[in-house]
């Protein structure tokens, strides 16, 4: 899972440092935006600037890694809800939690957008399996919720992803909260 570009497994301390750098990057980019300097990431991680570049040879690759990590976390969370008792609650709850995270971490929104339906070839390459994984897991939640009658039948996973990205953006930037989600959710429910 965590292996060097040469294919060999990383040394234990290298793994630790890689994780420290990634965590620091996530936080710094969330707070300061993606234009924050790599040097600040290094400082926050408590490592030398050279260490950051050993693990992520360009700033872009570091940004990508942050996105991938976020997507993987979300996909895992969705995956865990696949067998929940109440399919509707699982679906809407997941949606709600993603948006809440986005309100705290701007990067989440960008990650969602990148993972979105019609990705560019570049973005697809960048996020690797993480984007498709999330879409698949979300698709499964959606399907079960539809079967349970909690979500209308004429919605597709692509539309849900787009709504998710949009609501996350709104939460992060325009200060939207529960109030706004109410309407979005009503739009997804079967018309009475």
Partner DNA sequence: TATGAATGAGGTTTCATTCAT
Partner DNA sequence: AATGAATGAAACCTCATTCAT
Report in angstroms how near the CB of residue 19 gets to DNA at its nearest.
10
Among 117, 124, 143, 157, binds a second copy (CB under 8 A): 117
* Per-residue contact flags (x/-) with DNA for residues 11 to 40, judged by CB under 7 A: xxxx-xxx----------------x-xxx-
Q: At what angle do helices 157-173 and 178-188 cross, to 10 degrees?
A: 170
Nearest to 132 by CA among 88, 68, 77: 68
Cα-trace Rg, the chain = 18
Cβ closest to DNA, residue 50 vs residue 192: 50
CA distances from 43 to 40, 158, 188 (A): 5, 39, 44
DSSP bridge partners of 84: none
Q: Is residue 39 involved in binding a second copy (CB under 8 A)? A: no
Identify whether the C-beta of residue 168 lies closer than 8 Å to the C-beta of residue 96: no
Among 23, 27, 31, 49, binds DNA (CB under 7 A): 49
DSSP bridge partners of 37: none
Stretch that binds a second copy, among 16-24, 47-55, 79-87, 112-120 (CB under 8 A): 112-120
Q: Which does 175 bind (CB under 5 to 8 A by kind): DNA, a second copy, none?
A: a second copy
Query: What is the spatial distance between Cα 52 and Cα 59, in angstroms, rounded to a whole number?
Result: 9
Q: Is residue 103 involved in binding a second copy (CB under 8 A)? A: no
Per CB under 7 A, residues contacting DNA are 4, 8, 10-14, 16-18, 35, 37-39, 47-51, 53-55, 57-60
């Amino acid at each position: 899972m965590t292996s060097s570009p040469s294919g060999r497994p990383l040394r234990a301390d290298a793994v630790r440092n890689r994780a420290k750098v990634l965590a620091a990057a996530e936080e710094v980019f969330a707070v300061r935006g993606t234009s924050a300097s790599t040097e600040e990431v290094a400082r926050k991680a408590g490592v030398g600037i050279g260490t950051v570049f050993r693990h992520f040879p360009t700033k872009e690759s570091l940004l990508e890694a942050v996105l991938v990590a976020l997507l993987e976390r979300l996909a895992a969370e969705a995956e865990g809800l696949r067998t929940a008792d109440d399919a509707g609650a699982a679906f809407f709850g997941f949606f709600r939690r993603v948006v809440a995270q986005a309100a705290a971490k701007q990067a989440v929104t960008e990650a969602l957008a990148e993972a979105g339906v019609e990705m560019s070839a570049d973005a697809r390459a960048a996020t690797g399996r993480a984007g498709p994984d999330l879409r698949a897991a979300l698709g499964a939640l959606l399907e079960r919720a539809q079967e349970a009658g909690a979500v209308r039948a004429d919605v597709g996973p692509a539309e849900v992803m787009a709504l998710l990205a949009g609501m996350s953006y709104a939460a992060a930037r325009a200060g939207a909260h529960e109030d706004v989600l109410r309407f979005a959710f009503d739009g997804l429910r079967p018309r009475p």
